[in-house]
Structures are given as C-alpha cells and as structure tokens.
Amino acid sequence: DSGVTQTPKHLITATGQRVTLRCSPRSGDLSVYWYQQSLDQGLQFLIQYYNGEERAKGNILERFSAQQFPDLHSELNLSSLELGDSALYFCASSDYYNEQFFGPGTRLTVL
C-alpha cells in the first residue's frame, strides 16, 4: 500500500460526458501528479500540482483540467469525453524531489 488513494476504481461513461477522478496523496506529500496510461503505452505525464499551485503541465488536453485543494487532495476533471480517453489514470505524490508513489489508478471506459 503506497498510501495514495484514488477513487473511483472503475468508471464507465458515455461519449460527451464529464467525469471527476479523485486522489488523496500520502500524508505529508505536497506534490501531486496525474498520469494517463493508454493500452500498451507507458505512463504519460498530464499535470503536477505543488501545495495547491500548478507546477508543471504535460500533454494534457484542453478538455481536461485539475486542481489541488487546501487539504492537498486533487481532482482531475475530464469533459466532452471521447472513446480515445479510455485509459488508466494514475495519481502519484511525492515530497518534492524524492520518488513518486503511485495510487492504484482509476480505469475509465468511455462507450
């Protein structure tokens, strides 16, 4: 158990819909990262927050957005969903420069 929790574990929705994925980092970690893993692909970095502020952005679509709240949990919002958005979404946390610890992921299926 990495100490990072993600909900929900599975999400099935239709094209055009909007969903919110939730992540709680390890106790004490200020950095939260979101990654996407599509079928047979490596993990693609989406976005990083540090203590409530956006710190780095990867290849995140404009339809996607994220935020980190004062209690340090983070949410990833995916809107106008397309079939190609079906993937595993992982959240990770770290205490800045050290290793990132990953949550179990949310499997999103867009039908």
Partner 1 sequence: DQQVKQNSPSLSVQEGRISILNCDYTNSMFDYFLWYKKYPAEGPTFLISISSIKDKNEDGRFTVFLNKSAKHLSLHIVPSQPGDSAVYFCAARVQGAQKLVFGQGTRLTINP
Binding residues for partner 1, rule: CB under 8 A, are 2, 4, 6, 31, 33, 35, 40-45, 48, 50, 55-56, 58, 90, 92, 94, 96-97, 99-105
Cα–Cα distance list, 46 to 11, 28, 41, 57, 68 (Å): 19, 22, 14, 6, 14
Nearer to partner 1, 19 or 49 (CB): 49
Nearer to partner 1, 28 or 42 (CB): 42
Nearer to partner 1, 35 or 64 (CB): 35
